[in-house]
Structures are given as C-alpha cells and as structure tokens.
Amino acid sequence: MTASEATKDGPHSLLGLAVNRADVPAAGGGLDDASWVRALTGFVSFIPHTARLQVSVDEVAAPAVRMTLPWQAALVGDPHRHLVHGGVLTMFADTLCGSAVLTGLERPEVCPTLDLRLDHYRPGVEGMALIGEARVLRVTESMVFTEAQIWQQPGKLLCRAIGNFVRLGARNTPPGFGEALMAAAQGRPSAGAAGSVIDDPQKTADDEALPAVSQPVVSRPGDGLQHARRFVEGQRTRGDLADLLASLPYARAIGLGLCSLAPSSLAEDDPLPTTPLRYAMAAMPENVGNPMLPAVHGGVLAAAMETAATLEVLRLNGRGGRQARLPKLIDFSIDYLATARGDSVTRIDCEVLREGRRMANVRVSAWQHSSQRPVASARMHFVLEPLAREQEA
C-alpha cells in the first residue's frame, strides 16, 4: 500500500506528510523505502515481544513507518465489552516510534525511549487488527522526537502518542546492531534473538510466588465485568483481586500478578487493606524488547504499570457509600529512568493521588532490586463510569 492509499484508509496518514530536511537531515539514512521495510521487518522479528505478537511492517516513507498488529485473543483487556487492553496501544506506539527513529538517522543507533505519552480517544475493539503509523519530527545531537497514531477503522483514531528517544551514538551501540539491520535490508539472513531469560538473580524478601503465566487464558464473555463488580461491591479480598487480574488476558500474558501485601500475612479471603498493594511482572523471555541486554520492552513495562494503576483505582473506589465506578484511561505518561532487565522480576507500586466523583489521578513507580532506584515512573488520569452503565452497554 502506498502513502496515498494509506491516507484513504487512515486518519490523515503520517506517511504522506512532507519531510522537513532541516529537522530530519538524514531521513532514510541512505536506504530506499523498500529496503527499510525489509530492515524493520527483521528488527521487529528480532524483538521477542513483537515477534510473538506477529507485528508486520506495511510501508516506510522515511522517516515515517506504518505497521499492523494482527488481532489475537491475548490482546483483550476487557472481556465483557470485548475491548483491547490499553497497554497494548502503549506497547504498539513505543514499537512504532522506536522503528521510525531508525529511519531518521544517518546510521543505525540504539536509541532507548526517554518518555512516552498517549492520549486515548476511544478503546480498541476485539476482533480487529490495530494499524499504526509513526514519524520522526526532529533529530538533534542528543535526542529524536517522534509522534504516532493508532486506529482500527478509517477515520476513527484510538490514540495519539508522543515519544522522545535518547541518542546513544555509534560508540554506545552494541557491535553488530547496524550490520544486522543492513543485512535484513538487503534480504540476507541475520542472527536472531538467542538465549533465554534466566530466573531473577536477586530475589528479595518482598517476592512471592507469581502465578503461572505460560498457559493461554480462556475468558468467557462477561468474566471481566463480573469479576470487577464482585470485587468492587464485595469484600475486596486478595482472592477477588487475583481473580480479577487473571480475567485480563494481556495482563496474564505478560506475567503480571500480586507480589506482596502490607501487611503480607493476609489470607486469600481476608479483606484487603486500604494501603497500596504491590504488583509484580515476572521475568519472561516474551517480554524482552532488547535481547542484547536483555531488557524489558518499554511498552510492556508501561502496560504492566497501567494495569496495576487501574486495579488500584478499582480497589479503592466505591468506599464510604459511594457508587462503584469503572476506571477508563484518558491519558498515560511514562518516564523511563533506567534499564528494566528482562532477567529480573519487576515490581510496581501505585499511589492514587486524587479520586473524585468523576476523575482519578494515579502515580506509579516500577523497580527491580530497590524501590529507591526505580526503572520507570508514570502518571495517568482515569474517568470513572458507573458499572451499571457498562452492564447495559
């Protein structure tokens, strides 16, 4: 599909926009667009998480890219309303922007995500592929600035994203990265992601056994809302929260579970405390975004943090006689502070800063070996809708 055809299918295609050579002087990096399609196809196939989700590269008009994330059951975030997990959009946006970055540089560099922000306009629906585009807005000596958009149906954007990436330069780019990308561009085979992610080498006293996550999750229609309603309007026990978490296929797919409680001696059927809980994402090969370190995919980390924040809002709202409400994500902003290693458990702490009748604001911190050295921090806003309205929808 050409950029002009993409404009017809998508909302104001980014591929058809003129490139400001003053802002992106090395757009294309010496490769033609067809070569970039092959190169980026190799790139997303090398990343374990995007390879698992079968992300495909549809078109490149450097410094812009267009990709498709095909539908699969693991992408569900709300089994009752048949909606895509919001974290899937974050993961896809991070992948889109990071891929566009490569097409805007003179030569390939590893450029980690510094921060990413998404504005959610409408949820993704079950059974439809996600289509996304991203382009480079400006390249400086130290930074690359990008934007992205994701949709399913023509003219109906799901979200827009802004992503900023740090340039490490050729000196700090792992040997063989550029060569592998160029080999893929020329249609030659290159080394894939070798090795497996090992168990957490620095397990701490905070850790508990995480639920098994390798098996596919089969959710019945209505499970998500039934678990949410029972949890919010019921006793709010640890078992209820575990059931609710297990009813979210994408959360289960990335290995997200309860980690420790404060106090940690509660039984499964004891009421949960009002103090924040701790969540944990298991060390899984499928969550890796950079196999060379290995490092967790930035979008996967963001998805885990978003899920934990949603559960915390659900856990705390509806108290004091107020009507229980379902949180819907409005915007999400994450700052990446350090590498989240793929061979370590990632722990997540949430703080509901404010919860009103209609809106909630949440701050989230993710860390691995010390809560004083976070790997990422995020903030998000939710609008709170009555559960009864969801039942009627």
Other C-beta atoms closer than 10 Å to the C-beta of 276 total: 16
Final residue in a domain of this structure, among 184, 206, 235: 184
Residue 142: what are its φ and ψ, rounded to 5°?
A: -120, -15
For the packed helices 177-185 and 33-46, what is the interaxial angle rounded to 10 degrees? 130
Span 364-385, average pLDDT: 96
Do 276 and 326 share a structural domain? yes
Query: For residue 207, is it within any domain?
Result: no
117/253 same-domain check: no
pLDDT over 50 (residue 7): no
Q: Domain check: are 46 and 95 in the same one?
A: yes
CB atoms within 10 A of CB 33: 16
**Residues 292 and 241 occupy one common structural domain:** yes
How far is residue 47's CA from residue 196's CA, in Å, rounded to a whole number? 13
Q: Same domain, yes or no, for 261 and 374?
A: yes
Q: Which residues in 159-189 are b (16+ Cβ under 10 Å) and which e?
A: bbbbbbbbbeeeeebeeebbebbbbbbeeee
User: Of 184, 215, 231, which residue sits at a domain end?
Assistant: 184
Looking at residue 235, its pLDDT comes to 67
Q: CB under 8 Å to 80, separation ≥6 — which residues? A: 221, 222, 223, 224, 225, 226, 228, 390
Domain assignment present for residue 265? The answer is yes
For residue 214, being part of any structural domain is answered with: no
> In this structure, what token pair is assigned to residue 49?
């998480």
Confidence of residue 71 (pLDDT cuts 50, 70, 90): very high
Q: What pLDDT, on the 0 to 100 scale, is given for residue 208?
A: 37
One-letter amino acid at 385 equals E
Residue 261: band (very low, low, confident or very high) from pLDDT cuts 50, 70, 90: low
208 lies in a domain? no
Mean pLDDT score across all residues of the chain: 83
Q: What is the pLDDT of residues 271-310, one digit of tens each?
A: 777 777 899 999 999 999 988 889 999 999 999 999 999 9
For position 93, what pLDDT does the model report? 98
Does residue 216 belong to any structural domain of this protein? no
pTM of this structure: 0.85
- Same domain as 250, residue 123: no
State the Cα–Cα distance between residues 204 and 370, nearest whole angstrom: 9
Domain count, the chain: 2
* One domain for residues 163 and 235: no
Identify the domain boundary among 184, 213, 246: 184
For residue 57, pLDDT over 80 is answered with: yes
- Rounded mean pLDDT of 319-333? 80
State whether 381 and 232 are in the same domain: yes
String of DSSP letters for 313-343: HHHHTT-TTPPPEEEEEEEEEEEE-S--BTT
Reply yes or no on whether the pLDDT at 266 is more than 80: no
Whether residue 340 lies inside any domain: the answer is yes
Is the model's pLDDT at 268 over the cut of 90? no
Q: What pLDDT, on a 0 to 100 scale, did the predictor assign at position 320?
A: 57
Please tell me whether residues 172 and 62 are part of one structural domain.
Answer: yes
The CATH number that applies at residue 273 is 3.10.129.10
pLDDT band at 318 (very low <50, low <70, confident <90, very high): low
Q: Is residue 201 part of a domain?
A: no
The answer on 164 and 117 residing in a single domain is: yes
194-246 residue pLDDT tens: 333 323 333 443 433 333 333 333 344 445 556 666 676 666 777 788 888 88
Give the pLDDT confidence score for residue 98 in this predicted structure: 96
Residue 258: what pLDDT?
Answer: 86
215 part of a folded domain: no
User: Do 260 and 129 belong to one domain?
Assistant: no
Tokens of 5: 């055809």
Q: Reduce the DSSP state of residue 31 to 3 states and report it.
A: coil
Give me the domain span that covers residue 283: 223-392
Q: Which residue has the higher pLDDT, 324 or 20?
A: 20
Q: Could you tell me whether strands 359-367 and 288-290 are parallel, antiparallel, or unpaired per DSSP bridges?
A: unpaired
What angle, rounded to 10 degrees, do the helices at 298-316 and 86-103 form?
160
Note whether 271 and 379 are same-domain residues. yes
